[in-house]
Amino acid sequence: MNTQKAAVIDMGTNTFHLLLVELNESGFKTIYKEKIPVKLGKGGINQNNLAEDAQKRAFHTLKHFKNLIDGEHINQVFAFATSAVRNAENGLGFVHQVKEEIGISIQVLSGEEEAQMIYEGICLSGSLNGQIELMMDIGGGSVEFIIGTSQEVFWKKSFEIGGQRLLELFHYHDPILPEEVEKLESYLESKLGSLIEAIKTYQPTGLVGASGTFDTLTDIYYESMLQCKLTGQHVFELPIDEFEKIHDMLLTKNKEERLQIPGMIPMRVDMIVVASSLIEFILRYIPVRSITCSHYALKEGAISRVLKQISAIKA
């Protein structure tokens, strides 16, 4: 069997992901993966700027990633940047500097491209089961919504209302105040009009959450049930009443207390309150009994494309 290796770098607004994989005709095998809370959007995201110390953290992380990639002798490298970079006035300068100094070429994805690639990642995970689903991916800078089935996309859009932005705009007190949640909700209502219309039009009957916040919510749920996630499992179900319990808990605890919740990770502890409030808001418009959580998102969407190229070459 013919195998080749590839690396995917997903440079999110909050988290940078590295995924090293071995590819063959039947799919891919993960050699190594790592995620680092670079917080590229911190201190500048709502000003459309990449702060200097955020860029330093990004460079440090990308050099580390490059060493790992070179160590595996991988020359197929797919690096993507999303909301923080695409909206920053100094974003292109940052991209050029990374190319010059580290030798990594970064593709800056548009919101549309990001949504499409997330959809392809969700498809690869096996999360879709034939019904019309609303899919969502909550990033630090943007949130992508896709309505479709495993066969096709009916509607997709990226909104610049990610967790880091919402955190800086609304979450001033810890625990968050009820009036801050109210302000957040009316803000979402003003921003998500086109999504609410699309939900009415296409009437999705399922909700699929991709990666990030949804991974942490299912980790908390599994811990509360004293269960372990199985290695190699990419799809998890989170019952709505369990989500509601977790959501209420997140609204009433401060940061220190949230860190004590079994299943919580430090890189998610700040943003999870506003992210959970966003999910709660979406649930008003789509009545489901459980949320399907796909462990695959953007970076697996990139791998899905590479796999398609391989099978096209073979064909």
Q: What is the pLDDT of residues 106-150, one digit of tens each?
A: 999 999 999 999 999 999 999 998 899 999 999 999 999 999 999
Q: Are 306 and 120 in contact (CB under 8 A)?
A: no
Which residues partner with 159 through β-bridges?
Answer: 143
Pair of tokens at residue 311: 């099978």
Q: 171-176: list long-range contacts, CB under 8 Å, 24+ apart.
A: 171/270, 171/273, 171/274, 174/254, 174/255, 175/251, 175/252, 175/253, 175/254, 175/273, 176/251, 176/273, 176/274, 176/277
Going through the chain in order, the beta strands assigned E by DSSP cover 4-11, 16-24, 27-36, 77-81, 106-108, 133-138, 143-148, 153-159, 206-210, 235-239, 290-294
In angstroms, what is the C-alpha Rg of the chain?
A: 19
Q: Say which residue, 256 or 308, is predicted with more confidence.
A: 256
Question: Pairing between strand 27-36 and 133-138?
Answer: unpaired
- pTM score, whole prediction: 0.95
pLDDT exceeding 90 applies to what percent of the chain?
89
Pair of tokens at residue 114: 């990001």
Pair of tokens at residue 26: 């039947």
pLDDT per residue as tens digits for the range 183-196: 999 999 999 999 99
CA distance 28 to 21: 6
Give backbone dihedrals phi and psi of 28, rounded to 5 degrees, phi first: -140, 155
CA distance 195 to 66: 38
Q: What pLDDT, on a 0 to 100 scale, did the predictor assign at position 315? A: 61
Q: What pLDDT, on a 0 to 100 scale, did the predictor assign at position 185? A: 98
Q: Are 133 and 204 in contact (CB under 8 A)?
A: yes
DSSP state letters, 150-192: SS-EEEEEEES--HHHHHHHH--SSSPPHHHHHHHHHHHHHH-
pLDDT at 1 over 60: no
